[in-house]
Structure 1
Amino acid sequence: MNKLIAASCCALLLAAAPIFAASIYHCSDAAGNLTFTRQGCPIDQTARLQEAVNATPSSGKAVPLAKSSKRKTPKRQPARSLTVVGAQDDGCGNRITGSARRDALIKQQVRPGMTRDDIESTFGKPDTVTSRNGRAQYRYSDDKGRTRTISFDEHGCVQGKR
């Protein structure tokens, strides 16, 4: 009786083993379009039976995924010079770089070369605006009575300290 049970168990295990190969139909129509299917090809397409085999995982056999080709070393081309066609101008002579401007805006600092838009973006609309000879001055007052005055040149750029 034990031998009958053992034989039944072995038969069930072998029947439940995964299948790693399958037949696949390689179908091509008159336009050259390819279709791969397990159900068969339509009547108006040519059919070819193709075996698809998946290697057992961890079988120790290397399975090439693609044909390896020798790498061709590219020919060295002579160095070419770089030509700058255009450059961005912030209207203030590019006295401050983009990263320094962002850093100043985040830390709420005033640096020479910043524009009026930069200052208004950081501190908001000024409390008073004074203009003399085409040069503007923004004045900001806080709740503690402190004032901050920012002077701009005729191009709308923050002036440096004199």
Structure 2
Amino acid sequence: MPLKPTPIVLTTLLCLPPAAGATTVHRCEAEDGRITFTTLSCTNGERLSRQELSPYAPGSVAPLLPEARHEETDGNRGKRREPAIIGRAQDKCGNLIDARQRREAIINRRVVTGMSQQDVESALGKPDKITQRNSSTTYRYDLKRGRSAQVDFDEKGCVTGKAKSRIAKSPR
């Protein structure tokens, strides 16, 4: 014999909370901009905003985590942070040439005053002869047809003048 549900049982079933209901999560934003989501409360000094999380239902298009309501955080009104330039890197040659000029010189295999020894080796390769006198260094590159190129460096390892080309005596 079939059982008839009583109205009390039906009312009780309707009042039970759904198994996969929405959850409230605390969004905590620290002074340095870090954001933490937690079910616990925020620590001192953090701004709190509550976020409702809805469970994912297949076929739904609702986002799992809603966008933050920026009006709830009081610290970001009207403040726009611009990047701060603290200082400029100082190379050992005193920034006589900028990065673009250095790059172009290396690509075109030229030597420019203000380049370092590493820059010259990147442009021309390893020297055929290295001469050191007192605190200065000289690189010598033997080229085709008896020609040579000489690059002089100061005590810091920077090019002091443009490369000097000389015609060396031919061995014949």
State TM-score, norm by structure 1. 0.52
Structure 1 distance, partners of 2:141, 2:153, is 14
Give the alignment of 1:117-136 within 5 angstroms.
Answer: 117-136=118-137
Report how far residue 125 of structure 1 moved: 1.2
* Corresponding position of 1:93: 94
Report how far residue 85 of structure 1 moved: 2.6
User: Residue deviations 1:69-119, cap 9 Å, x none?
Assistant: xxxxxx877xx9x96433211100000000000000000011000000011
Q: Residue type of the partner of 1:34?
A: P
Contact 2:130–2:137 (Cα < 8 Å) also in 1: yes
User: Residue deviations 1:28-73, cap 9 Å, x none?
Assistant: 71463423236xxxxxxxxxxx9x9xxxxxxxxxxxxxxxxxxxxx
Aligned CA RMSD, in angstroms, stands at 3.4
Structure 2 distance, partners of 1:156, 1:37, is 67
Contact 1:28–1:34 (Cα < 8 Å) also in 2: no
> Are the structure 2 counterparts of residues 84 and 37 from structure 1 closer, same or farther at C-alpha, using a change threshold of 3 Å?
closer
* Corresponding position of 1:146: 147
* Corresponding position of 1:35: 56
Contact 1:136–1:156 (Cα < 8 Å) also in 2: yes
Structure 2 distance, partners of 1:93, 1:34, is 61
Contact 1:126–1:138 (Cα < 8 Å) also in 2: yes
Q: Residue type of the partner of 1:158?
A: V
SS of aligned partner of 1:138: strand
State TM-score, norm by structure 2. 0.49
| Identity of matched residues, % | 38
> Are the structure 2 counterparts of residues 143 and 28 from structure 1 closer, same or farther at C-alpha, using a change threshold of 3 Å?
farther
* Larger Rg belongs to: 1
Gaps of 5+ in 2: 1-17, 24-53, 62-76, 163-172
SS of aligned partner of 1:144: helix
> Are the structure 2 counterparts of residues 132 and 37 from structure 1 closer, same or farther at C-alpha, using a change threshold of 3 Å?
closer
Aligned residues: 101
Gaps of 5+ in 1: 1-26, 39-49, 53-74
Contact 2:139–2:152 (Cα < 8 Å) also in 1: yes
